[in-house]
Amino acid sequence: MTRKRLGFFTRLLDNAAPKARYRLATEQIRHAERHGFDTAWIAQHHFHEHEGGLPSPLVFLAHVAAHTERIRLGTAIITLPLENPLRVAEDAAVLDLLSDGRLEVGFGSGGTPTSFLPFGLTINERAAAFADGLHLIQSAWRGDSLTHPDNHLYPPAPQLAERVWIATFSVEGAIRAAQGGHGLMLSRTQPRPADEPFLPLDAIQNPMIDAYLAALPSGVTPRILASRTAFVADSVDYALQVATPGLTKQAQQHRAAGYRVNGDNVTDYIQQFDAHIGDAKTVLDSLGKDSVLARATDISFQVHSVEPSHQDTLRSIELIAGQIAPQIL
């Protein structure tokens, strides 16, 4: 059986000015590389610094590529409807060349309604824009002529067509990802049905995996990335102490947005936000209840929305590499 790949994921949300955020995230990725992580994933968000600190993921990954040697670099995700598809195709081709073929390209359709407006779109137009953009990017990477017979992507990047990942919350999205021969990206958490607020995350995501595998064309190797929130510390008490402010803030934000959040302490929030928090044993026990992880080809861990300090994030990376990864990969 092929070993699963271990990933580190960051939304660049360290409590710092923008330049410092980028520096800290770069240090965290380098630390993950030193401790044997296979992949590093970064998110794109426009305008709202408290949701994510990076509007230009490929620019940032070019910087990271220059400071790393081995770790693969992925976007989780590029919000494709808000991009010029040909420019994405070109920038990704250049980045993959400069990083010696280390780029993984994850796409999604986006979820913050107000972010679409400055780009001349509404969120209701995102599905069509996503489909058109993905089609054009793949065409460019395949080397097709672009409007005129003389126009072809340079530098050529046919290899990137084999490294596309699609993020989705639905069975229908998983099927579309499979039909395109793409990788499936599963979120660290996702909304529950109104009538089943305590449904386990794997109960939602396993049907997506089933549909993906059933729809995957013959001969195409499955690629399933499961992202999970995990913060590991040297003691349970310290982990909970660090996690309390971030998870409490998330609970407040969810309630303000009209979502139901039960309880009033960090233990209540951990379960509802699908977080794995504690010392290594506690986190391993918690992850062991998540049946999706056994089916994933890739597992990426992020500290959001615990929001620990930089040093605590580095320590969590070390503990995941040394005590979690050997048991689950």
Mean pLDDT over the full length of the chain: 96
The count of other CB atoms within 10 Å of the CB of residue 217 is 9
Strands 164-167 and 5-10: unpaired
| Burial annotation 156-178 (CB, 10 A radius, 16+ → b, else e) | ebeebbebbbbbbbebebbbbbb
Which band of pLDDT confidence, cut at 50, 70 and 90, is reported for residue 9?
very high
Query: Quick one: pLDDT at residue 208?
Result: 98
Beta bridge partner(s), residue 278: 232
Could you tell me if 177 and 166 are in contact, meaning their C-beta atoms sit under 8 angstroms apart? Answer: yes
3-state helix, strand, coil in the chain (%, to 5): 50, 15, 35
**Alpha helical stretches, state H, 218-309:** 236-256, 266-272, 280-287, 292-295
Report the candidate in 319, 239, 274, 285 with the shortest Cα–Cα distance to residue 8: 319
The mean per-residue pLDDT over the stretch 286-307 comes to 97
pLDDT value of residue 257: 82
The reported pLDDT for the residue numbered 51 is 85
| Mean pLDDT of all residues in 9-21 | 95
CA–CA distance, 65 with 109 (Å, rounded to integer) = 26
pLDDT digits (tens, 9 = 90+) for 141-180: 999 999 999 999 999 999 999 999 999 999 999 999 999 9
The pLDDT-based confidence of 1 (bands split at 50, 70, 90) is low
Instruction: Give Cα 1 to chain centroid, integer Å.
Output: 24
* The pair of three-digit structure tokens given for residue 156, joined into one six-digit string: 């050529």
Structure confidence by residue, pLDDT tens digits, 193-248: 888 888 999 999 999 999 999 999 999 999 999 999 999 999 999 999 999 999 99
* CB contact at 8 A, 246 and 240: no
